[in-house]
Structure 1
Amino acid sequence: MMNANSIYRPVSGLNLLKRIGNDPTERNSIILDALARIEEIDPQVRAMTAITRQEAAIAEATAAKGPLAGLPIAVKDIFDSVDLVTCYGSPIYEGYQPRSDAAIVTQLRRNGGVVIGKTVTSEFAYMAPTVTRNPCDMSRTAGGSSSGSAAAVAAGMAPYAIGTQTGGSTIRPASFCGIAGYKPTLGMLPTVGMKCFSWSFDTVGLFAAGVTDVAYLAQVLSGRQLAVNASTAIPVFGVPENYPWTAPSENASAVLDTAVRAIERAGGRVRRIRFSSWMADMIKAHDMIQSYEAWRALGYEYDHHRADLSPKLAGFLNRAADIDTVTYANACLLMEEAKGKLSELFDGVSALLTPSAPDEAPDGLGSTGDPAFNRNWTLLGCPCVNVPGLWGTRGGPVGVQVIGRPWEDARCLDAAAFVEQAIAVFTDDHPSK
């Protein structure tokens, strides 16, 4: 059920690659289409902070070699870029021009991607609201902190975008904007040249129209075999009976139930599971570790530019200053112990399945939403995929989250693709869902 106030139009990167083939004129056409789309709708969506000049983008596309073949890609403005200003979402760095690209930007260029522009981020990728509007409903938030990256893909400005996740900053905006979002295993993609918030959790995230598209980009950037294959293995999904954090809304619960029915109809299996008590302990551990590290990572900005920080971030850092090293060390120990218990969560299942967020995107731009369904998986380093395709009762997307064991990203992406296909077939037969 699409909201009437929508300019949702994601474009498949794999379809564009088929269109390009070996024709360099098609590369230029795709770049020009992307720039025209940005010019047309970004004044309303406000997803972009900087846009590559047409001449430079065409030149880069013409010279591009590699598996991305000149595709336009948007990059969150938390990553350094040598040819576009990098502000990290803060007035402190207004007009800042790095002398080098972040490692992930270099990977994009080495593989033929064209950085079409930089996208809006919450201030230093924390939780302060941004100006970006949700292409599915322009009266709502696109989420955060990777609001611009998710919105750029959902609105058809670029087939791919780079974001990050420290709590829920990839999966949640992907859910709100009705696209695929992928948070890899911690450490799979490089964070060098990314403004650090929490070195234990900061993870590069990827956005695309669908799961197959995002898996292809992940394979290109990681060098690992991650592209979705025609696996004959029947996945088994563990679905929690309850959660030690924010309960899902009736809306999100109904969407999850629809996904379960679609999976079972497609031949997949579902097992109900219960979280052990240590999962609740991880909620506080995430907060302690992130707070301690952010107080140090943003120490310069806090000490020298405190007046330029938003009240939300300044208040968070004020509280973070009280976390002592013993508390931090104990939280890190709990985290490592929990990682050793992950096998019990995945015993007998291919992946876990939960809502990606507690509900549809909130109305207005006053909040980026609640990352409760994402934080523990970020702490545990698990790969996660937002699977799009289902909509809530208020007309906005609600994603389901597929979660895998660390370093089993290929299996996680395959399972997510199974869910996406199952949902597509189910909703074709039940169009009211």
Structure 2
Amino acid sequence: MPLANSDLIQLTASAAARLLQRRELTAQALLGACLEAIHDREPHVLAWRQYDAERAMAHARQLDQGPVLGPLHGLPLGVKDLFDTRDFPSAFGSPIYQQHQPDHDAAAVAMCRAAGAIVLGKTVTTEFATFTPGPTRNPHNPAHTPGGSSSGSAAAVAAHMVPLALGTQTAASVIRPAAYCGIVGFKPSFGLIPRAGVKSLSESLDTVGGFGRCVEDVALLTSVMANAPQWRALPDDARPRIGVCRSPWWDTASPAAQLAFEATISRMAAAGAYLVDVTLTDAVSALTEVHDEVMAAEAFKALADERLNHPQLLSERLKEMLERGARVTYEQTLQHRAQVASARHQLGRGFVDYDLLMTPSACGEADLGLQRTGDPLFSRVWSLLGLPSLNLPAGFGPQGLPLGIQLVGPVMSDTATLAFARWVEQALARAEQRRE
């Protein structure tokens, strides 16, 4: 008996992919269920800048009639409006580019299409992936932010409008929206996924990542863009050694976030994980300010045309950031790079004793109101160091909104990080079943 639309949209991308590969599910049926969810939920969530149901359905019919193209065959995909797309405008969250129509796909988008994905449309981003929000709302409560800058992508997956979506992270733009929306978000090691055709904000920080409903989903999506099929072969027995890192910012976490973190530690211990408390060195913990200066200085250069020729169309918050970036000197830039290299070396020595660091993903539940996208504090250092990081849902807070934990691996350890994260995910799921 065919699955009802309400059941189809609950499928993980990985489960749907297996059915599609075996021809036990059609691309048209899955897309139809997603379009029904968009019809029902988009007026309240506002995750999409633009989508094209007719074009997507034509693509789905073509896929159903032809051979299986690849691991993403028949999966609807949301694309953050920071990526160039040949069939949708790319506005980058700015009025400057409202009529901008690329004639090509970003490399990551092209690779997803070649693997069989159906690009359903463009999801809302903040202004140039910075801090001025778009209209998107949190699917769990529309009075709250979904986070930024990959707001539309996270909200679309959380609202079951698509099983997968592309995002980018410069500070916390994958991890925080995933935490706020209660889904899995993965930011790979810096440089493993091509950024060609993605609007640049920070040359040494911008990283392409993705959203799904489980670790297997984000491994499936990002493996295609990284040309890393081994990410899809995740073992079931990768029991990690976990470094528990409450971090120097622990006091900024809400009581609910702290409680969820401690509860996760208890569940990991009960599941047999090796746990060790980790205290960051002063050199590592000082990197939050370095990240802020690096991001501002590189944005000042990356957005040169926009600030010089269209300053009246930039938000005040962005102009303030660019002004700060202009004050970062060449000598400070060299000092920043030396600090990052030293801290990466120090932290790398610590990863001899543990496989993953576990920290909060965000300061707490999603902020009330849509004027701000939340604090990126808990991800800044890991973004600056270029480390793979992943959000796992970790229950709900007193406002009924999701909370998350962040798992961070050593640089270029993405295969192992995904495997260890899957073990953690499954251990948490087993603990939740026992509680029920």
Normalising by the smaller structure, the TM-score range is: over 0.9
Which residue in the other structure is 2:58 paired with? 58
Distance between the aligned counterparts of 2:393 and 2:250, measured in 1?
23
Q: More helix per residue: 1 or 2?
A: 2
Amino acid at match of 1:375: R
Query: Are 1:36 and 2:67 an aligned pair?
Result: no
8 Å contact kept, 1:389–1:420: no
Which residue in the other structure is 2:427 paired with? 422
What SS class does the counterpart of residue 377 from structure 1 fall into? helix
8 Å contact kept, 2:107–2:196: yes
Distance between the aligned counterparts of 1:389 and 1:65, measured in 2?
35
Query: What's the offset of the Cα at 1:245?
Result: 7.3
Query: What's the offset of the Cα at 1:130?
Result: 2.1
Which residue in the other structure is 1:189 paired with? 193
Map 1:19-168 onto structure 2 (within 5 A).
19-23=19-23, 26-59=26-59, 62-63=62-63, 65-168=69-172
Query: What's the offset of the Cα at 1:267?
Result: 1.1
Distance between the aligned counterparts of 2:45 and 2:168, measured in 1?
20
Which residue in the other structure is 1:317 paired with? 322
Gaps of 5+ in 2: 1-8
What SS class does the counterpart of residue 119 from structure 2 fall into? strand
Amino acid at match of 2:433: D
Which residue in the other structure is 2:307 paired with? 302
Query: Are 1:253 and 2:258 an aligned pair?
Result: yes
Query: What's the offset of the Cα at 1:347?
Result: 2.9
Taking structure 1 as the reference length, what is the TM-score of the superposition?
0.94
What SS class does the counterpart of residue 231 from structure 2 fall into? coil
Query: What's the offset of the Cα at 1:105?
Result: 0.5
Which residue in the other structure is 2:5 paired with? none
Amino acid at match of 1:303: L
Q: 2:179 aligns with which of 175, 181, 184?
A: 175
Distance between the aligned counterparts of 2:315 and 2:233, measured in 1?
41
Gaps of 5+ in 1: 1-8
8 Å contact kept, 2:150–2:174: yes
Taking structure 2 as the reference length, what is the TM-score of the superposition?
0.93
Cα root mean square deviation, aligned: 1.7
8 Å contact kept, 2:139–2:181: yes
- Note the alpha carbon deviations across 1:214-258, whole angstroms, 9 max, x for none: 112222322221125234343110012441576322111111111
8 Å contact kept, 2:287–2:381: yes
Distance between the aligned counterparts of 2:11 and 2:377, measured in 1?
29
What SS class does the counterpart of residue 232 from structure 2 fall into? coil
What SS class does the counterpart of residue 139 from structure 1 fall into? coil
Amino acid at match of 1:345: G
Amino acid at match of 1:234: R
Q: How many residues align?
A: 423
- The 1:413–1:61 alpha-carbon spacing in structure 2 relative to 1, beyond 3 Å, is farther
Map 1:379-418 onto structure 2 (within 5 A).
379-418=384-423
Distance between the aligned counterparts of 1:382 and 1:341, measured in 2?
13
